[in-house]
Structure 1
Amino acid sequence: MALARMGAGDFGTRDGGRMIRNPETHAARLAAARALVDTVLIPAEARMDAEDRLPDEARAALRAHGLFGISIPETHGGLGLTMEEEAELMLVLGRAAPGFRAVYALNSGGAAQILLRAGTEAQKRRWLPWLASGERIACFCLSEPGAGSDAAALATTARRDGDGWVLDGHKRWVTNAPEAGMLMVMARTGGEGARGISAFALDPATPGVHVLPDQPKMGMRSARVADILFEKARIPADALVGAEGEGLKLALAGLDKVRLHLAALSAGLMERLIEEGRAHALRRTQFGRPLAEQPAIMALLADSAAEALAARCMALELARARDEGRLRPAEAAAAKLFATEALGRVADRVLQAHGGEGYMQGSAVERLYRDARVLRILDGTSEIQRLVVARGLLSA
């Protein structure tokens, strides 16, 4: 069953301080997502990891369920979900390896959100239906050899030339670059700092755009990553999204949404790891009794369950807060910080509970352990999240 889209009439009334959409439709959507995870995604994990690519049947299923358009309005072909609905969906989808999300999330994430905030109607009509359907894969080109967490230091330039622009620069660690059908590029059009950066939407087939070979990674192997070089790449005037100098502001405006996504995803992955740990503890016997009866193993699982529950509650509560317009940036950063750091601890505990079996290449725990590590880096490292939380606290 595909994930159901909802029309304008599907909004219900307020209940318990939040807007409830049609509960039957949403329940059906979550049930479909659970079936997708259990019957298609989890069975494809080992192959995805070994081949470093998303299997065709998994890609087709993700497209059929509308997951490339989670955050894109229905008017442009997406699911048009509220933040709370997205969080609940990510809790379910998070049980599968996070590499699946890495393939579809950029379509409705950074690229689409910038277009929705500042794009012209022509730009929206051109790009959003493609992105929502998954017909084209989006890339978000921000990081550079000299600009990672310090995004305002980027050096890629876009200079006016006649009735268009010329792009020159080097973007690093671009997720999905080898299969990109659309690039959202941050480039410097003015002076130094954040206010000199603009956003551009362009086709990767543009002459002067060079996607370099794939870069091997520790985990998340389905999400292909490569550098992109821009060498006198000429793009039309209408590639500029929003006003000149607003690019980084537009990129950062959607971080609270991304951080809540990652918090919910991490909570879901913790629950999957705990399932793996529980199953192992029940079937494995040591010293004449199941591991599940060993106090040390019980403690590992209990601590993990407590952190998973806390992350789940944070993600859902703050998703409701965002829907109601009361979310603060520091809260979204706190959720991402806690959930991704807790995920690291849970992955480590569950691997420890598996002993040598968990460390062996090819086991589900070994794969998920590797995949989980990057979530403390993506979309703002834990160190950056701490800065955001601290600044929010100290400026209150």
Structure 2
Amino acid sequence: MSTTLGSVLLIVALLGLAYKRANLKTSAIVVGVIAALAFFGPASATLTTIAVVLTAVFAVLSLESFRANTITRPIFAIYKKILPEMSETEATALEAGTVWWDGELFAGKPNWNKLIDHPNPTLAPEEQAFLDNQVETLCSMVDEWEISNQGDMSKEVWEYIQKERFFSMIIPKEYGGLGFSAQAQSAVLQKLSGLSGAVFSTVGVPNSLGPGELLLKYGTQEQKDHYLPRLADGREIPCFGLTGPRAGSDATSLPDTGVVCKGEWEGKEVLGLKLNFSKRYITLAPVATVVGLAFRMFDPDKLLGDKYDIGITVALLPRHLQGMDIGNRHKPIGSPFMNGPIVGKDVFIPLDFIIGGAANAGEGWRMLVECLSVGRCITLPSSGAGGGKYGIAAAGAYARIRRQFGVPIAKLEGVQDSLARIAGNAYISAAAARVTAISIDQGEKPSVPSAILKYNLTEAARQIAIDSMDVHGGKAIIRGPGNYIESGYSSVPVAITVEGANILTRSMITFGQGAIRCHPFVLPEMDAAKADDLKAFDKALFGHFGFIFSNMSRSAVLSLTNAAFTSVPVSGPTKKYYKQINRYAANFALAVDMCMFSLGGELKFRELISARLADMVSKMYLASMVLKHWEDQGRNKEDLILVEYAMDKLFSEFEAAQDGLIKNLPARPVAWLLRALTLPLGRTAKAPSDKTIAKIVDLTSAATGTRERLIEGIYRGDNGKNPLFMYDSLLSRAEKAEPIYKKIGIALKEGKFNEANLTIEGRIHDAVEMNVLTKDEGDFMIAFEKDVLDMVNVDDFPLEHFGEVAIKHDAPAAARKATKKKASDTEQA
């Protein structure tokens, strides 16, 4: 074997062994064979020596006991010294939830069968019936303009929500609840989200993090038997007090206290807690009858044991406790849902008010983070997914019927860009919300995906709201019963802010939790160090080394070949996207280790680095959800354009984050190596093309199967004020109207119309008179244009409708009377 051939063979072998993550024994054998061939062939002494040395190294390192005692032991000693202390609250947060598809992405080599084989269940018959009946009825009762003006939902809406047990979707049937799956809960909330933020929040919060879920998981049987039936049938309205003026996203910094003491309860002296607290931004607090409260528990007199600071604890408080001030309201922007402060001074409660009883004293943080990982995967993501469906349903239809410059504005490329972005974000959000909800139904508690969905889907909702405003133009900036955009637009910041502000979710939580929780070797290394287990540490450490070299090899090969030769278990038009995610997963896994290696403990405080890593894993996760969603929906070829748009968008955003990470990594030699291995050809992903954008708009601004699948599950009934019902009617007629518009346009170019007759109605009348249109066509267009005008018009009111004004002029009595009548008709409509 010649030196050149041997060198190539050795390099290829090393790359292949690393790529395939071969063990040390296999590596020693393979390289040993090459060494033998080199030794007995005409290869150079240098090549032979290198091959022999590598064989020896691999062979020695494969001797686990020898390796642990000679190589790993000194590393272990250093590691234990530099390992940062982890607080109890940090450890609890890391242990919360389970690792699902996020773990496959951190592993750098996703097992696609795990996702492809993931179930695709339909809703149970009773769940579908609830959607088709109770939810449909509730939607028909909602009047967002009335809610906005009155500051609350109507009494009838409140009573219907309570009567039909909307608060009890998470409560099992044996307690009188609906016992719905996570998928059904998401479907209900998506249907409500586009109609009213107040209704959505009122239904969503009791079914998310709150007394119901905490009681189910941690309550005593007595607490469950008492509260759950009452919560289910609406006799009790719950709220949960966690956030305060000085404890927002940093929930562990609670200044609220509960001090163990003796006090009087129902005429008897009992052991209990004296609570002092100040909570803000608590949804449903003004009307709640039972308050879940998080506080820091102390036992200065050692009445319970030797521990002074017992820790964060959660208790249930009836509304009418002496010393608790509840009932005032905040005024959130957007839809005016019930939200307010709760303040308590020297409020005494017995110890058995603690959820789970005295045995759960100090367990509150664990309880909260375990519940939050599920709740954040359902409620707010459903808001984003549902809002996206409503957004494209309304904006797409509006752009189809609204004409400017002689064409529907959906044909204008500037408008198409916004419309396609709405459709793409809606598709991504719907896919992520649905597939992740199903994972919860399968027993997962995906903590990292909950942060991914919370941040990305609420940010998508913000972009959808902005784009919808832009498409609708003046229609969207004038308040009134005809403006169906304003409430969602102004409510988006609420979703952005609650359950962990988005800035911190992106820059601290997503990657900060995932880096340790999902990495295949970091947590085992830490656990081994804490347990002083050299053997376990050795196994994790050398597994970690192999992992890094594997990702180096995989990143280089996949990046240079554009993932052409990686295998995936699918065929067809989406195969290339699975391959590309394989490449990105290897790139990401390598980037994670390079950042950990170069920054060490400082990485925890480099929040922009952490944010870019969070972006990278988020885009891969969302792309995976889109691919699974397309498979689950039956691989509809018509919807491939949405998949293409989503992949182009997410892949270009992944590479933007990857490029930004490399540019800002402080250790420049590490950054240069990372760029050479992961972006050797530069950024290759492209944003969606103009051609893709135009195709999406054609499919989503007309009555097509793609549009139907995209907006499936939203409210489209005729309650006299639902814009989507009218848009469905208009879209069903738009195709017939288009050739008639063309006939009028041709006649206009030929100068057949009276120049003074500028209205479309006038031109339709003249066209019929001139036999340009038939009478049937004319009658059809007059009716069609009337409905179009109703949808594009905005509301107006009498001068002093909103209060006294500084400047006003007398108007003739007849004019004043006509104006009042018009305002009255508008409000009734």
TM value normalised by structure 1:
0.89
Residues 134-156 of structure 1 show CA distances to partners (whole Å, capped at 9, x for unaligned) of 22211110111110001111111
What is the SS of the residue equivalent to 1:254? helix
The residue aligned with 1:280 is 398
Structure 1 residues 136 and 34: CA distance shift in structure 2, 3 A: closer
The residue aligned with 1:160 is 260
1:179-194 correspondence to structure 2 within 5 Å:
179-190=287-298
CA contact (8 A) 1:33 1:89 kept: no
Structure 1: 5+ residue stretches without partners: 1-14
The residue aligned with 2:419 is 301
Structure 1 residues 154 and 273: CA distance shift in structure 2, 3 A: same
CA contact (8 A) 2:138 2:160 kept: no
Which amino acid in the other structure matches residue 303 of structure 1?
R
Correspondence 1:376 to 2:496: yes
Cα deviation, residue 231, structure 1: 1.0
Cα deviation, residue 16, structure 1: 6.1
1:95-244 correspondence to structure 2 within 5 Å:
95-109=194-208, 110-162=210-262, 163-190=271-298, 196-211=311-326, 213-221=328-336, 223-242=337-356, 243-244=360-361
CA contact (8 A) 2:374 2:447 kept: no
Q: Identify which range, 181-190 or 378-387, moves more after superposition.
A: 378-387
Correspondence 1:270 to 2:388: yes
What is the SS of the residue equivalent to 1:93? helix
Question: C-alpha separation between the residues in 2 aligned to 1:176 and 1:92?
Answer: 21
Question: C-alpha separation between the residues in 2 aligned to 1:100 and 1:250?
Answer: 27
Residues 169-224 of structure 1 show CA distances to partners (whole Å, capped at 9, x for unaligned) of 211111111111000001110399x9611111011111100026322221230x22
The residue aligned with 2:512 is 391
Pick aligned residue for 1:85 from 184, 188, 201: 184
What is the SS of the residue equivalent to 1:146? coil
Cα deviation, residue 364, structure 1: 1.5
The residue aligned with 2:473 is 355
Question: C-alpha separation between the residues in 1 aligned to 2:180 and 2:120?
Answer: 12
Which amino acid in the other structure matches residue 439 of structure 2?
A
Residues 6-54 of structure 1 show CA distances to partners (whole Å, capped at 9, x for unaligned) of xxxxxxxxx964384774333323322562354222xx21111111111
The residue aligned with 1:3 is none
Question: C-alpha separation between the residues in 1 aligned to 2:252 and 2:448?
Answer: 20
Which structure has the larger Rg over C-alpha atoms? 2
Q: Identify which range, 384-393 or 117-126, moves more after superposition.
A: 384-393
Question: C-alpha separation between the residues in 2 aligned to 1:80 and 1:172?
Answer: 30
Which amino acid in the other structure matches residue 331 of structure 1?
P
Aligned length: 378
CA contact (8 A) 2:276 2:347 kept: yes
Cα deviation, residue 310, structure 1: 0.7
Structure 2: 5+ residue stretches without partners: 1-115, 263-270, 300-306, 520-829
Structure 1 residues 25 and 139: CA distance shift in structure 2, 3 A: closer
Question: C-alpha separation between the residues in 2 aligned to 1:280 and 1:354?
Answer: 7
CA contact (8 A) 2:241 2:293 kept: yes
The residue aligned with 1:258 is 375
Which amino acid in the other structure matches residue 311 of structure 1?
S
Cα deviation, residue 130, structure 1: 1.7
Q: Identify which range, 158-167 or 89-98, moves more after superposition.
A: 89-98
Question: C-alpha separation between the residues in 2 aligned to 1:333 and 1:118?
Answer: 23
Percent identity (aligned): 25
Cα deviation, residue 370, structure 1: 0.8
Q: Identify which range, 84-93 or 374-383, moves more after superposition.
A: 84-93
What is the SS of the residue equivalent to 1:372? helix
Question: C-alpha separation between the residues in 2 aligned to 1:16 and 1:100?
Answer: 36
Structure 1 residues 71 and 146: CA distance shift in structure 2, 3 A: same
Question: C-alpha separation between the residues in 2 aligned to 1:295 and 1:356?
Answer: 19
What's the RMSD between the two structures over aligned residues? Answer: 2.2
Higher strand share: 1
Question: C-alpha separation between the residues in 2 aligned to 1:197 and 1:249?
Answer: 9
CA contact (8 A) 1:70 1:80 kept: yes
Pick aligned residue for 2:125 from 24, 38, 48: 24
Question: C-alpha separation between the residues in 2 aligned to 1:358 and 1:171?
Answer: 35
Cα deviation, residue 55, structure 1: 1.1
CA contact (8 A) 1:72 1:79 kept: yes
Cα deviation, residue 279, structure 1: 3.1
Higher helix share: 2
Question: C-alpha separation between the residues in 2 aligned to 1:393 and 1:213?
Answer: 39
